[in-house]
Structure 1
Amino acid sequence: MRTGADDEAWLDGIWRRHRPRVVGFLRRASEPNEAEDLAEQTFIEAWRRRVAAPDQPLPWLLGIAHQLHRARHGTPVPWTPLARADAQLAAACAELTDDERTCLLLFVLDDLTDEEVAEVVGCDPAAARRNRERARDKLRHALGGVMTA
């Protein structure tokens, strides 16, 4: 367990390294000020839970951010930037379940593995992979087979 100055250095390190990714994740669903606010709350909560922090904290941090967003809004972080860009994609994304959409966006936009996605959303890696694959198949079908990710 870290103590004193080690704790402060740990928090400063994860803040500097992962804050942009946490804010980017939250901006998919929030106005910039709210994303910043939720990101700060994420790091405050990370500080409180620091004893449980894994060596690779990004999925853990995104999981905290995901929980905070869900507690505030009652929904997971949605796939808004891409859906705003194309009406057909927006309609296809609307047909996905929350879990499918969340697992796919974490895999595609955040470049997380199925194991890391599972950590963020609180499921096992097989369920994360199934959700991602179902989402990809539904989008491919809805978009006429043009999706390759």
Structure 2
Amino acid sequence: MTAAHVPDDEQIVRGWVDGGAEALEQAYRRWGSLVHGLARRAVGPHDAEDVTQQVFVSAWRGRESYDPASGPLGAWLVGITRRRIADLLRSRHRHVEVVTDREDLPDRGSWSEADIDDLITIYEELERIGEPQRGIILLAYVEGLTQREIAERLGLPLGTVKTHTNRTLSRLRTLLGGAR
């Protein structure tokens, strides 16, 4: 892979299925920040590195079980991420430490397991939806851009960005069981 050539998702998947030498690195470059971001939100920054590494090692070792016809590679990796996060959270519950300092108390704004499950479900669905919808939602809700800024960045008409946003949010709302 040359510096100028960035493989698209289909090329990464072909390399992944074939067990190509660069496939793991390409998959990590493409979906590593997604996996790490999910892990960071779910388990915190310290354990997120370990979860991310576990996800990609597990995925590579079990790559024969990935079926491109069943869904995108990114969604498959998010599924593995979900399981690794759940494993870590279960192990935390088995090894509960006694809080001795007020500073060690968990933040009341921390996420519940239900919140984490919802977040992972959303990211899985965004991977399935694909572009430009996935990018629009991430730019709006992760990077905090306005719809006008998203339209300018992606070179899309503002009306198209608004339509994609509304449709995607409606789809996610339905997926999560309506407004909560």
Given the two structures, how large is their TM-score scaled by the length of structure 1?
A: 0.54
Q: Secondary structure in 1 aligned to 2:126?
A: coil
Describe the SS at the equivalent of 2:176. Answer: helix
Give unpaired runs (5+ residues) of structure 2. Answer: 1-16, 92-107, 130-171
CA distance in 2, matches of 1:108, 1:44: 20
Which whole-Å deviations, capped at 9, do the CAs of 1:13-71 have from their partners, x for residues lacking one? 10111101100011112221210110000000001111122442111111111101111
Q: Is the 8 A contact 1:26 1:38 kept in 2?
A: yes
Q: Distance in 2 between matches of 1:110 and 1:30?
A: 21
Q: Which residue of 2 aligns with 1:61?
A: 77
Q: What letter matches 2:81 in structure 1?
A: A
The aligned residue for residue 44 of structure 1 is 57
**In structure 1, how many angstroms separate the alpha carbons of the residues matched to 2:123 and 2:58?**
26
Question: What amino acid sits opposite 1:107 in the alignment?
Answer: I
Equivalent-residue separation in structure 2 for 1:109 and 1:10 (angstroms): 21
Mapped contact 2:74–2:127 kept (Cα < 8 A): no
How many residue pairs get aligned? The number is: 103
Equivalent residues of 1:101, 1:132 under 8 A apart: no
Greater RCO, CA 8 A, separation 6+: 1
Amino acid in the other structure paired with 1:9: E
Match of 1:106 among 102, 121, 135: 121
SS of the counterpart of 2:64? helix
Query: Partner letter of residue 177 of structure 2?
Result: E
Q: Which residue of 2 aligns with 1:9?
A: 22
Q: Quick one: structure 1 residues 50 and 103, their matched pair in 2 at CA, closer, same or farther if it must change by over 3 Å?
A: same
Cα distance in 2 between the residues matched to 1:70 and 1:39: 13
Matched, 1:133 2:149: no
**Helix, strand or coil: the match of 2:43?**
coil
Structure 1 vs Structure 2 CA RMSD: 3.4
Runs in 1 of length 4+ with deviation above 4 angstroms?
Answer: 128-131
SS class of match (2:42): coil
CA contact (8 A) 1:103 1:131 kept: no
Asked if 1:70 corresponds to 2:86, the answer is yes
